[in-house]
Amino acid sequence: MEINYDYYRIFYYVAKYKSFTQAAHALLNNQPNITRSMNNLENQLGCQLFFRSNRGVELTPEGERLFSHVSIAFNQLQAAEMELSQNRELQGGFVSIGVSSSALHEILLPKLAKFRSLFPGIRLRLTSVSGRQAFSLLKKELADFALTDFSLDTSAVQSETSLKETPLAEFQEILIASRQYSFLADRPRHLAELSDIPLITFKKTDEAFECCRSFYQSLGLSLVPAVEVSESSQMLALIEGGLGMSFLPRHLAQSALSLGTAVQIPLVEQLPGRRCSLIEDSSRSLSQPASQLIKLLLETEIKEK
């Protein structure tokens, strides 16, 4: 006997909705075709599958037994379709990320090489953001997720009910300066002693600037930047160019320190700790590429730099 698979697909929906009308709607068909197909299936199997009434249909014992097999097959087919769809998406999807300079170097870059090797067809778009800018980017759905940094004592998303923060790494900033200030590197200095050295900071809208301002205030000092920048690479270029001092995570400053194009000035005061975090909007569902990249990022253990 030749199997008419379309009959079994129609049977699945009639049994699921217990209605010929609803099954027809779900299948974008009409009720007479649905009824005719089920009559043909009953004739083909030689048994009654439905009890029909004005209130709809109910499965007969034979119909129940058939449905127990058909539903398993149908669910397997749906799972296979979803798996193939996800595979297609992972071969040519797109991920948009809001990321701060610290999070880029500390969290994202070490994972991107592995992600690209696993999913070479995925395109990436990175937007430079601070903590507050990350919230706005996510709310406007201009990024799938964000990686940014905060002070350790900041409750980053307490007023953003749909946003979720997952800390990924902790780090400490150091004070670095142009090499003409190397005479200050011989011993720990009080920050107040360095007020004459031009200070280079991130822009006032950046989370890093707010952390720096709070640190100065805790010492009874005023923060007066000589230059404001938007990227850590700009900050390093200015320091190497002889334009002053700045606070940077050690891992971002290490290359300049090793080359001798900048020097670290040790401080008596303890700088506040910082953390890099993953920020997600829990009210949104993510694409498979974005979910896979987040999975890689979450393999990062909390660590100190």
Convert the pLDDT of each residue in 224-235 to its tens digit.
999 998 888 889
Please write the tens of the pLDDT for every residue from 100-115.
Answer: 877 888 889 888 888 8
Residue 91 clears pLDDT 70, i.e. is over it: no
Q: Following CA atoms 284, 289, 291, 297 in sequence, which dihedral angle do they give, to the nearest 10 degrees?
A: -130
Residue identified by tokens 């034979």 is 62
Token pair 């290359």 in the structure block, residue: 255
- 66 Cβ partners below 8 Å, 6+ apart? 11, 45, 49
Q: Which amino acid is at 212?
A: C
Longest dimension (CA), the chain: 98
Q: Among 182, 183, 171, 172, which Cα is nearest to 262's? A: 182
- Distance separating alpha carbons of residues 191 and 188, to the nearest angstrom: 9
pLDDT at 304: 44
Question: Which has the higher per-residue pLDDT, 131 or 21?
Answer: 21
Picking from 80, 83, 63, 88, the residue whose alpha carbon sits closest to that of residue 10 is: 63
Average pLDDT of the residues of the chain? 85
Query: Does pLDDT of 214 surpass 60?
Result: yes
What φ, ψ does residue 94 adopt, rounded to 5°? -145, 135
Reported as a pLDDT band with limits 50, 70 and 90, residue 305 is very low
Letter for the amino acid at 141? Answer: E
pLDDT at residue 274, rounded to an integer: 82
End-to-end CA distance of the chain: 70
